[in-house]
């Protein structure tokens, strides 16, 4: 094979690698395309170590392909890390596929000050929901959460003229939803 054929093959391999990674990240393949990565990197190393084989036009094309591969490679590395850590687009799939029950709790409160166990259940559900979608949980202050529940209960009771407030914590489309409505 001559240099131009190798560069065309490298361009095709990078295009195919992009497609195979998209298939892998969408769940169509069990393993990342490591054999194709090896082939691309072998070609890159061969021409990087001895640039004297390339004329000016070939060197320009080779450098453009290297830059394209580097951008894609960085993107794939970040997506692989997200997939391993269960963040981003992979958060809901991990949370529901790993055997953990999907978060969805509904609690009716009359007076949160006299029902601290219900407030604790809401807090635990909120923490679990945030973990499930990959959000930080170390910034949740139990006292501030309790105060928020008390104030929201009072606000809804006064605004809607009811005796109870229904709180719910759920995960919808990869986001935590915390709702408070008039209780039945």
- Which pLDDT tens digit goes with each residue over 30-52? 888 889 999 999 999 988 888 78
The predicted-structure confidence for 98-141, as pLDDT tens digits, reads as follows: 434 455 788 888 888 888 888 888 888 888 888 888 887 777 88
Residues sharing a CB contact under 8 Å with residue 184, sequence separation 6 or more, in sequence order: 108, 164, 166
Neighbours of 109 (CB within 10 A): 23
Give the integer Cα–Cα distance in Å for 51 and 49: 6
0.75 exceeded by the pTM?
Answer: no
Which residues, 6+ apart, have CB-to-CB distance to 129 below 8 Å? Answer: 103, 169, 170, 171, 176
The neighbour count for residue 112, using CB atoms within 10 Å, is 22
Q: Is 88 left (phi over 0), alpha (psi -120 to 50) or beta?
A: left
3-class secondary-structure state, position 168: strand
């Amino acid at each position: 094979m001559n240099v131009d054929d190798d560069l065309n093959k490298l361009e095709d391999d990078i295009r195919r690698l992009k497609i195979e990674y998209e298939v892998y990240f969408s769940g169509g393949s069990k393993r990342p395309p490591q054999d194709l990565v090896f082939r691309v990197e072998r070609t890159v190393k061969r021409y990087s170590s001895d640039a004297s084989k390339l004329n000016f036009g070939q060197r320009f094309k080779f450098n453009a392909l290297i830059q394209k591969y580097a951008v894609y490679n960085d993107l794939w590395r970040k997506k692989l890390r997200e997939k391993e850590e269960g963040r981003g687009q992979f958060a809901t799939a991990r949370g529901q596929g790993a055997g953990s029950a999907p978060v969805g709790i509904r609690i009716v409160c009359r007076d949160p000050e006299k029902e601290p166990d219900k407030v604790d259940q809401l807090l635990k559900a909120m923490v679990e929901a945030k973990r499930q979608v990959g959000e930080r949980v170390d910034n949740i202050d139990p006292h501030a959460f309790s105060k928020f529940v008390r104030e929201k209960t009072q606000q809804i009771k006064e605004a809607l003229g009811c005796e109870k407030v229904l709180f719910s914590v759920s995960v919808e489309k990869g986001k935590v939803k915390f709702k408070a409505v008039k209780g039945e």
